[in-house]
């Protein structure tokens, strides 16, 4: 019970990685708020969790007014926020010469501006508590990936932002870290062409996709007391894909 009665907010928490993160925190005693734009997915998540330890807010993390409302609602209800997980993210893949400008803008907005807005609202609360943990879900793709000039740039930006916030908030006993997943089996990756999905699995040193729980365990560790001196880091959870290219 590492998170007994801790107040935790998870964006994009209704499905995929976010849902696994929510499940993990609830199992370890936390009060969790799911923040997601997809009401249907929220309803399914709440039904399947069937727990008094979870709340939900249907909101868009790219909208500053909605983000202000999200954080005020959690603060009013629980009086504090111990952990923020910025997990909501989208993909709109294409090679640059075929990528519409709106697909660049929407990916940057959800994957980079969303976490920035959330951190801006949460920072004063965590500073006044003199404690807190922020975990940003980046991606192995921040290192570069064909067809993801928008997505890789957004996740690279998120890594840079993580490092800056670690510097700005460390003195207030707040750590800020990033997790960079490789291919994980979620609704997002299952929306890819099945042939592409198979190819991605085969290009992994472990020859498989990861499970959402692999990410949830890492997020929980970074949010725990044991990780109190880990700050500004990116932890790759990708079966070794980030090490380099290999042909086998
Ligand atoms: P997912 O299955 O699509 O779940 C993401 C959730 O976030 C969805 O419920 C989505 O709603 C919600 N969301 C999207 N835009 C939002 C917004 N503006 N405000 C609030 N919620 C919003 O994705 P996932 O695969 O679990 O990915 C979670 C995170 O991990 C993302 O940041 C992704 O980039 C990162 N990641 C995933 C993988 C992977 O292999 N799965 C690998 C590396 C990194 P909708 O259904 O309406 O879009």
| Ligand 1: centre distance to CA 173 (Å) | 28
Per the domain annotation, does 189 fall within a domain? no
Name the closest-CA residue to atom 24, ligand 1. Answer: 16
| Interval 90-117: pLDDT, tens | 999 999 999 999 999 999 999 999 999 9
| Ligand 1: centre distance to CA 232 (Å) | 22
CATH no. for residue 70?
A: 3.40.50.720
| Interval 143-153: pLDDT, tens | 999 999 999 99
Alpha-carbon torsion, ordered 68, 71, 73, 79, to 10 deg: -140
Pocket test for ligand 1, best of 9, 11, 12, 37 (most atoms within 8 A of CB): 12
Per the domain annotation, does 48 fall within a domain? yes
Answer yes or no: is the C-beta of 11 below 6 A from any ligand 1 atom: yes
Per the domain annotation, does 191 fall within a domain? no
How many Å apart are CA 23 and CA 77, to the nearest integer? 21
Which atom of ligand 1 has the smallest separation from the CA of 209? 40
Answer yes or no: is the C-beta of 15 below 6 A from any ligand 1 atom: yes
Query: How many folded domains does the chain comprise?
Result: 1
How many Å apart are CA 240 and CA 242, to the nearest integer? 5
Q: What is the pLDDT of residue 84?
A: 99
Per the domain annotation, does 72 fall within a domain? yes
3-state DSSP of the chain: CCCCCCEEEEECCCCHHHHHHHHHHHHCCCEEEEEECCHHHHHHHHHHHCCCCEEEEECCCCCHHHHHHHHHHHHHHHCCCCEEEECCCCCCCECHHHCCHHHHHHHHHHHHHHHHHHHHHHHHHHHHHCCEEEEEECCHHHHCCCCEHHHHHHHHHHHHHHHHHHHHHHHHCEEEEEEEECCECCHHHHCCCHHHHHHHHHCCCCCCCECHHHHHHHHHHHHCHHHCCCCCCEEEECCCHHHCCCCC
pTM: 0.98
Q: Which residues contact 72 (CB under 8 A, 6 or more apart)?
A: none
> Which domain range does residue 54 map to?
7-182+213-237
Per the domain annotation, does 223 fall within a domain? yes
Q: What is the pLDDT of residue 244?
A: 85
Q: What is the pLDDT of residue 113?
A: 99
Per the domain annotation, does 187 fall within a domain? no
> Which residue stretches of the chain have pLDDT < 50?
none
Answer yes or no: is the C-beta of 56 below 6 A from any ligand 1 atom: no
Per the domain annotation, does 148 fall within a domain? yes
Q: What is the pLDDT of residue 248?
A: 67
Per the domain annotation, does 197 fall within a domain? no
Q: What is the pLDDT of residue 5?
A: 92
Answer yes or no: is the C-beta of 110 below 6 A from any ligand 1 atom: yes
How many Å apart are CA 9 and CA 74, to the nearest integer? 8
């Amino acid at each position: 019970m590492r998170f007994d009665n801790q107040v935790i907010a998870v964006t994009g928490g209704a499905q995929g990685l976010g849902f696994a993160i929510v499940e993990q925190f609830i199992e370890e005693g936390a009060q969790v708020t799911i923040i997601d734009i997809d009401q249907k997915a929220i309803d399914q998540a709440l039904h399947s969790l069937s727990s008094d330890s979870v709340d939900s807010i249907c909101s868009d993390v790219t909208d500053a007014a909605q983000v202000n409302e999200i954080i005020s609602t959690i603060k009013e209800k629980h009086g504090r926020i111990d952990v923020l997980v910025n997990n909501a993210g989208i993909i709109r893949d294409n090679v640059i010469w075929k990528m519409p400008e709106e697909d660049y803008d929407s990916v940057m907005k959800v994957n980079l501006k969303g976490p920035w807005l959330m951190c801006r609202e949460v920072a004063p609360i965590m500073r006044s508590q003199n404690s807190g943990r922020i975990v940003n879900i980046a991606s192995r793709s921040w290192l570069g990936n064909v067809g993801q000039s928008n997505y890789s740039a957004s996740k690279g930006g998120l890594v840079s932002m993580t490092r800056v916030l670690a510097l700005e908030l460390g003195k207030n006993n707040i750590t800020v870290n990033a997790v960079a997943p490789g291919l994980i089996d979620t609704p997002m990756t299952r929306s890819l062409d099945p042939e592409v999905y198979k190819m991605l699995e085969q290009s992994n040193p472990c020859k498989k996709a990861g499970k959402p729980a692999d990410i949830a365990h890492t997020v929980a560790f970074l949010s725990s007391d044991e990780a109190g001196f880990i700050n500004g880091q990116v932890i790759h959870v990708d079966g070794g894909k980030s090490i380099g290219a290999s042909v086998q």
